[in-house]
Amino acid sequence: MTSTPRTFVDEKHADQRWHERSWAYQLRPFRGMLHDVRRRLPWYLSDWTTAFHKANLYRVLAASLRMFFLNLAPAVSYLLDMNRRTGGTYGINEVLLASALPLVVFSIFSVQPLTIVGVTGLINLFNYTNYDIVTRYEGVDYLQFQAWMLIWAAIFHILGAIFNFCDFTRFITDMTSTTFGLYVGVIYIQKGIELLVFEFSSSAVDGWLAVLVAVLFTVIVYLVERAGQASPVPFWLRKFIWDYGFICGIIFFAGFVHIPGHLKDANLSKLPITKAFFPSTERSWVVPFWELSGKWVAVAIPFGFLLTLLFYFDHNVSSLMAQARHFPVERPAGFHWDFFLLGITTLVSGILGLPAPNGLVPQAPVHTESLSVMKLVQVDGEEREIHTTTSGTGPTQMKVVRTRVVEQRVSHLVMGLLTLGTMTRPLLVVLGLMPRALFAGIFILVGWASIEGNPIIHNSLFLLRERRTVSLDHPLLSVPKKQIAKFLSAQWFVFGASVAISQTVAAIGFPLIFIALIPVRYALLPRWFTERELALLDAPTANAPDVLQSIGGELLEINTDRKLRSGDATPKAPADVEVVAMEDGSMAPVVHSEDVVAGVGSAR
C-alpha cells in the first residue's frame, strides 16, 4: 500500500538479549515511551491515509460499525449492573462518556490504535465493591473517594510507564491469561443471569419474557454465527455474518419486544436514560475531589494500587491479544506509551466521576479480526503455516486465510465519534427503547464464547477424549496425561478462587491473584513440569515480533535458565502451541489459542 518507513532501532542495545541488560537500562526513565513513539512516528501519517485507500475503506467502515456495537453493548450491560449496585451514581451518560473519551484519545494519541479501550466488567466489580465498602462509613463521599483512587492509580500508571514496567508483560504466559479469560467469561454469564433474576422483581410475566428474549437472542445469534462458519455457506455470506451477525441480532431483538400484542403489552423494562450530556445524578461534571478528608485520600492509595495492578494486567493482555502472532500485524507496538496514555484517561475519569476505562480483553482482538482481509484458499500444505483461521470442514479442505490487517486509526476514531453521537438526545432515546433483557443476552453470548473457546476447556476435554480419536501429531500426546491434569488442576483452582473472591467484599483483591500467578509460574512450575511440557502447555502470551520490539527484544524462552545462559534460544514453543489450538479447532474451528482469551469467538 504505502512504502514501509524505516523503523527506529535502539542500535546500542539491539544485539543485547533481555537477560544481558543492566538494571540501569531497564529502569532508565522514559526509555520505553520514547522508543515506542520513535518507532511509530514514521507510520503516523499513513495510519490515517491508509484507511481511505479504496481497497481498505469498506473494511474500515464495517469494522467501525461492528466494534461500535461490540464495544458499547457490553459496556451498557455492565452499566445496568453498576447503576443498580452503586445507588445510581453511574448512569448511561457516564458510561457513554467513559467509552467515547478513550476511543477519541487512543485513536489519535496512542502508539498502537488496534487496542480498544472501554468500560469493562472488572471496573464494574471494582466500583460496586468500593461502594459497598465506602457506604459503611459516615462522612465520606463515594465519588470523591473514587476520584482519589483513580488519581492515585493514574500516578502509578504514569510512574510505571516512565520506568518501563510494561517490559514485564513478556513474562505473562497462557496459564495466567487463559485462566483470566475463563474467569471473565464466567463473570459475564453470572451478570447476565443476575440481570434476568432482577427482571422478576416487577412481575412474573416480565421475568419470563425477559428470560425468553435473552435465550432467543443468545441462541439465534450463536447458531447463525456457527452456521455461518460452515463450508456450504457461500463465502460472501460468511463475511457478511462475521461483520453484521451480532449487529443484526441486537437490532432485531431491540425491535422484537415492541411488536404489538403480547410482546408490547408485557412492557419489558428498558434501559434507563436521563438528560443528554448531563451527569446522571444532580452534580456538575467535575467531582469536588478536593473536599475529601486527608484520611480517606490516604485510604484511597491501596485501592488505586490494586486498580493499577488490574489495569496493568488487563490492558496489556488486551494489547497482546490485539497483536497476537496469528494476525499479520506489521506496524510497531507501544506498550509503554499506551500505558502512560491509560494513566491520563484514568485521571480524567476520576475527575469527571466516570467508570475508568481500560483495555477490553474480549473486544481488542476482535478489532484486529474485523480489520483483517480474509481470503478463501485451497489447503495445499504450503500456505498452511501462516495466519490461517478456519480450516473448512468441507471435503476439499478450503481454508480462510487472513492476508493482511488494515492497520489505521480511522476505525477507532469513527467508533469514538459514533459513541459521542449516541450521547445526543435522539440516539439516547433509541437506546432507551432497548430492553434490559437483551443486554442480559449479550452478557451470556459474549461470556459463553469466551468459555467455549478457552484452552482450559479444550485441554480438559482432551483428557476425556479417547486416544484413538486423537490425531497422531497432536502435540499434547507427548505430555503424560497426569502432567496435563496437574497443570489443569492448578488453572481450575485459581479460576475457582478468583470467582469465589469476586462474590465477597474482598473482590477488589482479585487482581493480586492473577499478578501473583506470574512469579509462581517461574518459581514453582519448573519444579513440577519438564521444560518440554511447559513449552507445550504454557507458552508466553507475547509472541509476535512487533510486540516484542516494544517490551524488550527477543522472544522469551520460558523456563530455560540454562538455555538463556547458553544463548540457544530458538523460538519453537509458540508455533507448537498454535497447532494445539488449531487441533482443538475441530470443535470450535475459528478459535486460536490467542483468540481464546479474547473470548468473543461467537461474536466474530
The answer to whether residue 73 forms part of the interface with a copy of itself (CB under 8 A) is no
Neighbours of 478 (CB within 10 A): 11
Among 462, 510, 514, 529, binds a copy of itself (CB under 8 A): 462
The answer to whether residue 19 forms part of the interface with a copy of itself (CB under 8 A) is no
The answer to whether residue 258 forms part of the interface with a copy of itself (CB under 8 A) is no
Three-state secondary-structure class, residue 471: coil
The answer to whether residue 392 forms part of the interface with a copy of itself (CB under 8 A) is yes
Among 34, 155, 205, 224, binds a copy of itself (CB under 8 A): 205
Residue corresponding to grid cell 520514547: 34
By beta-carbon proximity to a copy of itself, the closer residue of 291 and 466 is 466
The answer to whether residue 212 forms part of the interface with a copy of itself (CB under 8 A) is yes
CA distance 511 to 521: 16
C-alpha cell at position 182: 475463563
Binding piece for a copy of itself, criterion CB under 8 A, among 20-28, 29-37, 456-464, 546-554:
456-464
Least separation in angstroms between residue 341's CB and a copy of itself is 42
HSE, side-chain direction, 13 A CA sphere, residue 270: 19
CA distance 209 to 214: 9
Among 44, 48, 168, 235, binds a copy of itself (CB under 8 A): 235
Q: Which residues of 589-602 are buried (b: 16+ CB within 10 A; e: fewer)?
A: bbbbbbbbbbbbbb
CA distance 564 to 538: 18
Among 41, 230, 524, 575, binds a copy of itself (CB under 8 A): 230
Binding piece for a copy of itself, criterion CB under 8 A, among 210-218, 299-307, 309-317, 503-511:
210-218
Least separation in angstroms between residue 205's CB and a copy of itself is 5
Least separation in angstroms between residue 138's CB and a copy of itself is 38
The letter for the amino acid at 144 is Q
Please choose, from the candidates 158, 211, 126, 194, the residue with its C-alpha nearest in 3D space to the C-alpha of residue 507.
126
By beta-carbon proximity to a copy of itself, the closer residue of 192 and 540 is 192
**Packing angle between helix 573-584 and helix 455-464, nearest 10 degrees?**
70
Least separation in angstroms between residue 64's CB and a copy of itself is 28
CA distance 64 to 418: 9
Least separation in angstroms between residue 465's CB and a copy of itself is 5
The answer to whether residue 209 forms part of the interface with a copy of itself (CB under 8 A) is yes
> Which secondary structure element, helix H or strand E, spans residue 437, and what is its range?
helix 436-452
The answer to whether residue 211 forms part of the interface with a copy of itself (CB under 8 A) is yes
Site residue total, a copy of itself (CB under 8 A)? 46
The answer to whether residue 207 forms part of the interface with a copy of itself (CB under 8 A) is yes
CA distance 390 to 370: 15
Binding mask 372-391 for a copy of itself (x = CB under 8 A): ----x-x-------------
Residue 25 CA to its chain's centroid (Å): 31
Is residue 269 a contact partner of residue 433, using CB atoms and an 8 Å limit?
Answer: no
By beta-carbon proximity to a copy of itself, the closer residue of 400 and 406 is 400
The letter for the amino acid at 313 is F
Residue 192 CA to its chain's centroid (Å): 18
- What is the DSSP code string of 69-109? HHHHHHHHHHHHHHHHHTTT-S-HHHHHHHHHHHHHHHHHH
The answer to whether residue 232 forms part of the interface with a copy of itself (CB under 8 A) is yes
Binding piece for a copy of itself, criterion CB under 8 A, among 41-49, 105-113, 470-478, 522-530:
470-478
CA torsion sign for 592, 496, 360, 571 is: negative
Q: Which of residues 262-281 bind a copy of itself (CB under 8 A)?
A: 262, 265-266
The answer to whether residue 219 forms part of the interface with a copy of itself (CB under 8 A) is yes
Helices (H), 287-408: 294-322, 335-352, 363-370
Among 382, 466, 482, 570, binds a copy of itself (CB under 8 A): 466
Q: Which of residues 554-583 bind a copy of itself (CB under 8 A)?
A: 583
By beta-carbon proximity to a copy of itself, the closer residue of 17 and 474 is 474
Among 461, 500, 520, 575, binds a copy of itself (CB under 8 A): 461
Q: Which of residues 398-427 bind a copy of itself (CB under 8 A)?
A: 398
Among 395, 523, 527, 565, binds a copy of itself (CB under 8 A): 395
Beta bridge partner(s), residue 173: 540
Least separation in angstroms between residue 134's CB and a copy of itself is 34
The answer to whether residue 208 forms part of the interface with a copy of itself (CB under 8 A) is yes
Q: Do the bridges between strand 388-391 and strand 358-359 make them parallel or antiparallel, or are there none, so unpaired?
A: unpaired
Cα radius of gyration (the chain) = 23
Binding piece for a copy of itself, criterion CB under 8 A, among 35-43, 196-204, 352-360, 538-546:
196-204
Residue corresponding to grid cell 444532580: 282
CA distance 396 to 413: 41
The answer to whether residue 234 forms part of the interface with a copy of itself (CB under 8 A) is yes
> CA-CA distances (angstroms) from residue 492 to 41, 57, 175, 190, 379?
43, 44, 10, 17, 36
The answer to whether residue 301 forms part of the interface with a copy of itself (CB under 8 A) is no
The answer to whether residue 478 forms part of the interface with a copy of itself (CB under 8 A) is no
By beta-carbon proximity to a copy of itself, the closer residue of 410 and 579 is 579
Beta bridge partner(s), residue 376: 400
The answer to whether residue 200 forms part of the interface with a copy of itself (CB under 8 A) is yes
Interface with a copy of itself (CB under 8 A): 200, 203-205, 207-209, 211-212, 215-216, 219, 230-235, 237, 262, 265-266, 376, 378, 392-396, 398, 461-462, 464-466, 468-474, 583-584, 586-587
